[in-house]
A and B are shown apart, each in its own frame.
Chain A
Amino acid sequence: MPMTMTQKILAAHCGRDALAAGEMILADIDLVLGNDITSPVAINEFTKAGCECVFDCNRIALVMDHFTPNKDIKAAEQTKKVREFAGDKGITNFFDVGEMGVEHALLPEKGMVTAGDLVIGADSHTCTYGALGAFSSGVGSTDMAAAMAYGKVWLRVPAAINVRLTGKLRRHVSGKDVILHLIRLIGVDGALYQSLEFSGEGVAALSMDDRLCICNMAIEAGAKNGIFPVDDQTLAFLREHGAKEPRVYAADPDAAYERTIEIDLSALVSVVAFPHLPENGRTFEEIGEVRIDQVVVGSCTNGRISDLREAAEILRGRKVKKGVRALIIPATQTIWLQAVREGLMEVFIAAGCAVSTPTCGPCLGGHMGILAKGERCVSTTNRNFVGRMGDPQSEVYLASPAVAAASAVMGRIASPDMLDA
Chain B
Amino acid sequence: MLLTGNALCYGDNVDTDVIIPARYLNTSDPKELAAHCMEDIDPAFLAKVKPGDIIAAGRNFGCGSSREHAPLAIKTAGISCVVAKSFARIFYRNAINIGLPIIECAGDFHDGDALEVDLSAGTLRNGTTGESYVFPPFPAFLQKIIEAGGLMNAMAGGDIA
Contacts and interface: CB of A to CB of B under 8 A. Distances in A.
Contact of A192 (B41, B60, B160): B60
B8 to A, nearest CB: 18
Contact of B94 (A123, A140, A156, A385): A140
A156 to B, nearest CB: 8
A2 B17 CA distance: 39
Contact of A26 (B40, B65, B160): B160
B94 A142 contact: yes
Interface string A115-137: 00000011110100000000000
B151 A26 contact: no
Given A222-B89, A385-B15, A387-B18, 11 more contacts: A38-B67, A41-B28, A49-B156, A51-B152, A71-B26, A146-B152, A188-B60, A383-B65, A385-B18, A386-B17, A386-B40
A142 B89 contact: no
Interface stretch (A56-64, A147-155, A165-173): A147-155
Interface stretch (B45-53, B112-120, B121-129, B139-147): B139-147
Nearest to B59: A189
Contacts of A71: 26
A152 B91 CA distance: 19
A138 B23 contact: no
A150 B28 CA distance: 23
Interface stretch (A72-80, A83-91, A92-100): A72-80
Nearest to B156: A49
A189 B64 contact: no
B139 A48 contact: no
B149 to A, nearest CB: 11
A383 B66 CA distance: 13
B26 A388 contact: no
B72 A41 contact: yes
A26 B68 contact: no
A237 B48 CA distance: 54
A38 to B, nearest CB: 7
Given A188-B60, A222-B63, A152 B155 contact: yes
| 8 pairs of A and B residues whose beta carbons are closest in the complex | A24-B141, A140-B94, A74-B26, A49-B152, A142-B97, A189-B60, A140-B68, A364-B22
